[in-house]
Amino acid sequence: MGTELGKYKSCVSARSTNKEILKRSQDGGIVTQLFAYALEEGIIDGAIVAGPGDEPYRPRPFIATTVDELMSARGTKYNISPNVSWIKEATRSYGLDKVGIVGTPCQMQAVRKGQLYPFGWRDVDDKIALAIGIFCMENFPYQSIKQLVEDHAGVSMQSVKKMDIGKGKFWVYTERGATVQLPLKVTHKYEQPGCHVCLDYVANLADVSTGSVGSPDGWSTVFVRTKNGDDIWGKAIAAGCFETKPIDQVKPGLELVSKLANEKISKNQKTVEARATFGVNKALRNPYIKP
């Protein structure tokens, strides 16, 4: 395995030991459980999460300062939640000294860029106490997800209990027990274009990153990456927050994670390269080379 999984200290398959969290969690409840633990232990004093918004399955980023608030953000919403937009405000009117933030790989990149190169983020750099990254293959605008669920799957947005992308399908589960699946091929044209230049699958720059791929249903694959992440994860394990299994003892395991990461990166690397000759003697901009 190469660099596609980023730097990490350890990798396990895990799930929360809290039954309440697992009732509505997308997978193993890692994000909610780790933030809840960090909040109760004073490791963070609030976390930026994607809570319920004005329309069904439209996320609204907000700063959770209680476990109840964290619980309201459980579950994946497959559309854009600008979590990073709260990062400065968390240290202003909210008065937080130790900020937690969850986000996709690009949002972890944004956080780390802002820590090393803060332009409009005064006093934010050393107040990021726990950045949890979630695996992400691509995201969708809200209207895309609505079109997929309502037009392609034929389900009303209000009746959806859970959405999931896994095993090569887009799954929609309703509150009343129906399941609809769409082939991923149908979803491709609805993807957010900005995702096609993304070269990170498993949130390489997070303190701890987690996602479903690699682990059985109801469990999550977890990478512990930084010193800070290792410290917090170790304490959470010692406190009995998680059940864990060595990643090499679960199926499909890291091999599949690596395969998908490589597929994403090589496909998007090609897109980045194609931008250089997009026009006639004219290129589209490449952010990885210069602003």
Q: Which residue lies nearer to other proteins by CB, 15 or 127?
A: 127
From the centroid of its chain, how far is CA 183?
A: 22
- 3-state secondary structure (DSSP) of residue 2: coil
Report how far residue 159's alpha carbon sits from residue 144's, in angstroms, rounded to the nearest whole number: 17
Q: Which residue lies nearer to other proteins by CB, 250 or 272?
A: 272
Contact 224, 9 (CB under 8 A): yes
Q: Which residue matches tokens 């999460």?
A: 49
Q: How far is the CB of 132 from other proteins (least distance, A)?
A: 15
From the centroid of its chain, how far is CA 190?
A: 19
Judging by DSSP bridges, how do beta strands 128-134 and 160-166 pair with one another?
Answer: unpaired
Q: How far is the CB of 50 from other proteins (least distance, A)?
A: 11
User: Residues interacting with other proteins, by CB under 8 A?
Assistant: 6-7, 61, 79-89, 103-104, 106-107, 109-110, 112-123, 125, 139, 141-143, 192-199, 204-205, 226-227, 284-285, 287-288, 290-291
Q: How far is the CB of 198 from other proteins (least distance, A)?
A: 7
Q: How far is the CB of 204 from other proteins (least distance, A)?
A: 7
Q: What single DSSP character describes residue 86?
A: G
Q: Which residue lies nearer to other proteins by CB, 24 or 60?
A: 60
Q: How far is the CB of 84 from other proteins (least distance, A)?
A: 4
Q: Which residue lies nearer to other proteins by CB, 251 or 285?
A: 285
Q: Which residue matches tokens 């790989």?
A: 105
- Give all strands of the β-sheet with 10-16 in edge-to-edge order: 59-64, 46-52, 99-103, 128-134, 208-211, 220-224, 10-16, 242-246
Q: Which residue lies nearer to other proteins by CB, 13 or 109?
A: 109
